[in-house]
Amino acid sequence: MRKGYLILFIVFQLSCFAQNKQVLYNFTSIPQSSLVNPGADVSYKFYFGIPILSGISGNLGSSSFSAYDLFANNGVDFNEKVRNVINNSSNKDKTQVNQQLEIFSGGFRVGGRESQSYISFGVYQEFDFLMYFPKDLAILAVDGNQKYIGKSFNLADLNLRAEVLSVLHVGFHKKLSEKLVLGGRAKIYSSGANATSTRNSGFIYTGQNANSPNLYNQVISSNLELKTSGISKFTKDEYDGSIPSDIARNTFFNGSLGLGLDAGITYYFKENLQFTASIIDFGFIKQSKDVETLTYKGTYNYKGANPIFTTVDKPEDVFDEFNKAIPRDTLYNKYTTWRPTKLYSSIQYSFGESRSDEECNCKGSVNRRYVNAIGGQIFAMTMPKEPYVALTAFYKRSIFEKLDFKATYTIDPYSNKNIGLGLSGTLGKLNMYLLVDNVLEYKDVSKANSLAFQFGFNFVFQNSED
Amino acid sequence: MKLNFTHTISKVLLLVFVFSSCSSNLDFDQVNDLKLKPVFVANLAYFNVPANQLINDGELEPFYDVSEFNAFKDKFFRDNLVKAELNFEVENTIIRSFTIQVMLLDANDQVLETDSYKVPAYSGTSNIIKYPTEVFENQRLDLLKKTAKLGFVVIMDAGPPLDASSKGSLKLRSGATIYMEIE
């Protein structure tokens, strides 16, 4: 059973995803770019994503070790590898998974042919997982406390959250002038399962003092709390359903509900100098379905048996005392979780006017088109310990009018040489895109600390094709 | 022509990523080799009995005490314990010598093992005795795992009488070192 958990843990480790979508951001030939900036300068008469295939994204990584470090078939003892991973990790190293699947999506222009107002909508499913490396507890499990007299093992190292949810969203963006695009998106979250244990504290301490009545001074101070929603019924003995299908049903039809907001802006200082910014998933979920909170709170000073040699025999049991000092409590209170809020911003300089060709003129637009763009982006996301921040430099090029290419160089907590490539092309009305990240790691994916990919298919109808 | 080229480029790019990505040979079965070998230290028992509690009128009636000790009720602990060491340390500042007996009792109060520790009388100088480590392995460990109670017996050897004004105390400190192997 324990091995089962370990395998599960490793599967999570292997499917680690950073949430930064630096290649998609401001890649405006892809309609889905308005999901990372609702104020992106995206235009269409209408579009719809091919159901299930319009937006599939996943990333993979962990900041302190790779699959290779643990599972390389190189003759090194597995326990040695585990120990190395523990030694090389800190409690700030994290494992992150983010997977998104668009169920359907679409958008259309409102208010006539000359209007530049757009509504977009859709439903996507998202899985989020974040766990910090529980360094002190890992040491305790591997080594025990014997070699660590005087050390406080920090229980705050236990820090994780996981959620499966579906998101129904409706967005609106409008090009107010040649210089300014504003957009916003309202989201209704439906969380099928949530587990949150991000506010733990406490310690396990073993000390040794010469003059104390005990050989060791042993204290466990525990303030552990695991909140779950939509999960507790699976842990009951009488449960005999199918967990994946129950989670899926709860995610779409019977989840804990929440609300969120995205907002974004695109502003052109000059025709070829563009600024964008967005805030994504500013919102919360009121966890209310099948909620259960487990706590272990208290302080226990373990002394061992204490014979007193008097006729009054007090039957004591140190382990009963432990359970009394740090009881396991189960609460059934609703709780609120905040979505990981993301911030993006970019500045982009375009150059190299494209040669005018006939398709361009058909649009009736007087906009100049630039072939090249370079710029920088910043990404930040809220996290329990400290925000995730990534910096990106990018180069975009229109290879043809209907084939755009973007390359990114990103420095993030997982890598300082994360190169991403993206291609978006339109064949007739079919828009296809493929974005990958950390391309250098593809030469040996098992050694990658993080990988990301994203692809999808949309049908996009432009004015010129009326 | 242009569309064709677009098509080709996207196909090529896709193929590049599908086929250029390699992976070292990984062996996930190694998980089965996982063996944790933590070593824990913990208090076992302690007491501090003042001399005036050991008043006797010449009869050498032993003092005894039995404490519940339920650590081995836990199956996980029992199954993964491969070795245990018990350390005893006694400080005697009473002018009498003692024998301290530590008894391991099972749930039915049957004695599984008795260990005796001679404690010399206090003669004005430091009198702290660290006894050799008791190592529990194999059959002796199996007996230890049946332990449900710890019995302590203090037997006073012959010597000058103790009364309410007698000075000093008999202190015991003990700890366990627990070797686990978790697979």
Give the pLDDT confidence score for residue A260 in this predicted structure: 95
Q: CA A126, CA A116: separation in Å to the nearest integer?
A: 30
**Cβ separation B70–A320 shorter than 8 A:** yes
Task: Count A/B contacts: CB-CB distance under 8 Å.
Answer: 189
Cα A420 off chain centre by: 18
How is residue B88 written in tokens? 């005893």
Residue A388, pLDDT score: 87
Identify the bridge partners of residue A431 per DSSP, sorted by sequence position: A426, A458
Is the minimum CB–CB distance between B94 and chain A shorter than 8 Å? no
Q: Which residues of B touch A421 (CB under 8 A)?
A: 13
A26-47 pLDDT, tens per residue? Answer: 998 888 899 999 999 988 888 8
Whether residue A266 contacts residue A39, with contact meaning beta carbons closer than 8 Å, is answered with: yes
3-state secondary structure of B145: helix
Q: What pLDDT does B81 receive?
A: 92
Q: Strand, helix or coil at B111?
A: strand
Given B10, B36, B40, which is nearest A425 (Cβ)?
B10
Q: Does A403 touch chain B (CB under 8 A)?
A: yes
Kindly report the backbone phi and psi dihedral angles of residue A186, in degrees, each rounded to the nearest multiple of 5, phi listed first.
-100, 145
pTM of the model: 0.79
Rounded to a whole number of angstroms, the distance from the CA of B139 to the nearest CA of chain A is 24
Shortest distance, CA A6 to any CA of chain B (angstroms): 8
pLDDT at A368: 63
Cβ pair A436:B2 closer than 8 A:
no
Q: Is A108 exposed, middle or buried (0-12, 13-18, 19+ CB in 10 A)?
A: middle
**Measuring CA to CA, which residue among A383, A459, A463 is closest to residue A105?**
A459
User: β-strands A430-437, A94-110: how paired?
Assistant: unpaired
Interface membership of A310 toward B (CB under 8 Å): yes
The CATH number of residue A143's host domain is: 2.40.160
Q: Rg (Cα) of chain B, in Å, rounded?
A: 31
ipTM: 0.79
Q: Terminal CA-to-CA distance of chain B, rounded, Å?
A: 63
A 10 A CB-CB count for A187 gives 21
CA distance A80 to chain B (A): 9
DSSP, res A72: B
The answer to whether the Cβ–Cβ distance between A71 and B26 falls below 8 Å is: yes
Say if residue B11's pLDDT is above 70: no
Rounded to 10 deg, the angle between the A78-88 and A135-143 helix axes is 150
Domains, chain B, with CATH or none:
34-180 (2.60.120)
CB–CB contact B31 A6 (8 Å): yes
| Closest to A52 measured CA to CA, from A100, A102, A98 | A102
Mutate to test the interface with B, among A68, A218, A318, A426 (most CBs of B within 10 A): A318
pLDDT of res. A294: 93
Q: Where are the alpha helices (DSSP H) in A31-90?
A: 67-71, 78-88
Interfacial A residues in 61-120 facing B (CB < 8 Å): 67-68, 70-73, 77-79, 81-82
Residue type, A382: T
> What element of type H or E holds B138?
helix B138-145
- Whether residues A146 and B40 touch (CB distance < 8 A) is answered with yes
Cα separation of A347 and A349, whole Å? 7
Q: What is the pLDDT of residue B74?
A: 83
Q: Are the beta carbons of A126 and A100 closer than 8 angstroms?
A: yes
Distance CA A35, CA A18 (A): 16
Of the partner residues A215, A402, A442, the one whose CB lies closest to the CB of residue B175: A215
Which amino acid, one-letter code, is at B90? Answer: V
Residue type, position A419, single letter: I
CA–CA distance from A373 to each of A20, A31, A272, A353, A393 (Å)?
20, 19, 9, 11, 11
Segment A65-121, tens digit of pLDDT: 777 888 888 888 888 888 888 888 888 888 888 888 888 899 999 987 788 899 999
Q: Say yes or no for a CB contact (<8 Å) between A144 and B43.
A: no
B66–A313 C-beta distance less than 8 A: yes
Distances (CA, A) of B88 to A215, B44, B69, B134: 9, 9, 17, 9
Model pLDDT for residues B13-47, shown as the tens digit of each residue: 555 555 455 666 777 788 888 888 999 999 988 88
Of A72, A303, A310, the CB nearest to B24: A72
Q: Which chain A residues touch B67 with a CB distance below 8 Å?
A: 305-307, 315-317
Q: Residue A315: its pLDDT value, please?
A: 58
Q: Both tokens of residue B119?
A: 């404690």
Give pLDDT tens digits for B82-128: 999 999 999 999 888 889 999 999 888 899 999 999 999 888 888 88
pLDDT at A465: 43
Helix, strand, or coil (residue A112): coil
CB distance A306–B154 less than 8 Å?
A: no
Cα–Cα nearest to A385, from A161, A89, A152: A161
Tokens 């366990």 sit on residue: B176
CB contact A430 to B (< 8 Å): no
Cβ within 8 Å of A, B 48-67 = 48-49, 53, 63-67
Count how many domains chain A has: 1
Q: In the prediction, which pLDDT does A316 show?
A: 61
**Cβ-contact A222, A329 below 8 angstroms:** no
Longest dimension (CA), chain A: 106
- Residues A77, B75, A324: CA angle, nearest 5 degrees: 115
Q: Which of A215, A355, A446 to mutate to test the interface with B (most CBs of B within 10 A)?
A: A215
φ, ψ for residue B113 (rounded to 5)? -160, 145
Say whether residue A399 is in contact with chain B using an 8 A CB cutoff.
yes
Q: To the nearest whole angstrom, how far is the Cα of B50 from the nearest Cα of chain A? A: 10
CB pair distance less than 8 Å for A423 and B20 = no
Phi, psi dihedrals of residue A154, rounded to the nearest 5°: -85, 115
Quote the domain boundaries for residue A421: 2-465
A320: closest chain B residue by CA = B70
Per-residue pLDDT of chain A (466 residues; tens, 9 = 90+): 444 444 444 443 333 344 788 889 999 888 889 999 999 998 888 888 888 787 877 776 677 777 788 888 888 888 888 888 888 888 888 888 888 888 889 999 998 778 889 999 999 999 888 889 899 999 998 899 999 999 999 999 999 999 999 999 999 999 999 899 999 999 999 999 999 999 999 999 999 887 788 889 999 999 999 999 998 888 888 888 888 888 888 888 889 999 999 999 999 999 899 999 999 999 999 999 999 999 999 999 888 888 877 765 555 666 677 888 888 899 999 999 999 899 999 999 999 887 655 444 444 444 567 889 999 999 999 888 888 899 999 999 988 878 899 999 999 887 888 889 999 998 888 888 888 888 877 777 777 777 777 888 888 888 754 4
